[in-house]
């Protein structure tokens, strides 16, 4: 079942490891088949070196395991909230990558200091509010997803492809699992550069609106011209 999606999701998980975003098994990526309403996610706690497509776990959007002998990543309910709330996304990734997690632990949004950031995010990278005790006690993973959705404050998730969960780490998304993993790597780079920017100049200011818009819209706007044009159907 969903063989191609299983392979895509495995590959996205391995990409997180290749990019140095994952320590031991602290990370997960998933992908969704919108036609079938099924999500494929990495199993919990299985070493990456031994992971095969058949180890991936298939769940419906209500956390019912449809196929797979292994337990899914414990963050599955967070991924499911994002798939339900963000209808256009096809993949989600979560890591504890060092610099993005440092910003998450400091509970500080990452300001847009340069064009790398502006190419991917239309604003600063948001950080969720701190989880309350009741949110932690019950349905913690689902409540984490709700906190991510709230942190976007109605912004289009395609213009903010990732969020920092306070005291935890980054969640990113994209059109498929590979794009979500790519955005996890970009977010880590943005977080690292912002950290150094403030180290060099603690009074550094975010880029101006014009430069930010120029870079974001040349990749994402209606008249985007960055890269090679895709065939439009």
Give the active site residue among 119, 140, 146, 195. Answer: 119
Location of structure tokens 């031994």: 50
54-59: Cβ within 8 A, 24+ apart: 54/6, 55/10, 56/6, 56/9, 56/10, 58/1, 58/2
Told to judge if 226 belongs to the known catalytic residues of this protein, a careful annotator would answer yes
Q: CA-based angle 192:18:50, to the nearest 5?
A: 140
Q: For residues 142 and 61, what is the distance between their CA atoms, to the nearest angstrom? A: 12
Q: For residues 227 and 233, what is the distance between their CA atoms, to the nearest angstrom? A: 18
Residue 35 parent element (H or E): none
Buried b (16+ CB within 10 A) or exposed e, 81-106: bbbeebeebbbbbbbbbebbbebbee
Give the active site residue among 24, 60, 139, 226. Answer: 226
Q: For residues 14 and 51, what is the distance between their CA atoms, to the nearest angstrom? A: 9
Residues in the chain: 233
Q: For residues 40 and 28, what is the distance between their CA atoms, to the nearest angstrom? A: 11
Told to judge if 176 belongs to the known catalytic residues of this protein, a careful annotator would answer no
Q: Give the residue numbers annotated as catalytic, written as ranges.
A: 119, 226
């Amino acid at each position: 079942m969903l063989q191609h999606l299983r392979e895509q999701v495995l590959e996205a998980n391995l990409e997180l490891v290749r990019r140095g975003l994952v320590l031991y098994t602290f990370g997960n990526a998933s992908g969704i088949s919108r036609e079938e309403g099924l999500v494929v996610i990495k199993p919990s706690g299985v070493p990456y070196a031994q992971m095969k497509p058949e180890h991936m776990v298939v769940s419906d959007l209500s956390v019912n395991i449809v196929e797979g002998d292994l337990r899914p990543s414990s963050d599955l309910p967070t991924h499911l909230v994002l798939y339900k709330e963000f209808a256009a996304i096809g993949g989600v990734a979560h890591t504890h990558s060092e610099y993005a997690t440092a910003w998450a632990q400091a509970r500080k949004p990452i300001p847009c200091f340069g064009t790398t950031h502006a190419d991917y995010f239309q604003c600063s990278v948001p950080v969720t509010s701190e989880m309350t005790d009741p949110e932690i006690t019950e349905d913690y993973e689902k409540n984490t997803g709700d906190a991510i959705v709230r942190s976007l404050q109605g912004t289009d998730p395609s213009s903010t492809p990732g969020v920092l969960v306070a005291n935890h780490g980054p969640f990113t998304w994209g059109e498929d699992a590979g794009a979500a993993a790519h955005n996890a790597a970009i977010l880590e780079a943005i977080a690292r550069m912002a950290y150094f920017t403030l180290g060099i100049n603690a009074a550094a200011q975010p880029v101006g609106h014009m430069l930010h818009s120029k870079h974001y819209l040349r990749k994402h706007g209606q008249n985007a011209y960055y890269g090679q044009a895709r065939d439009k159907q």
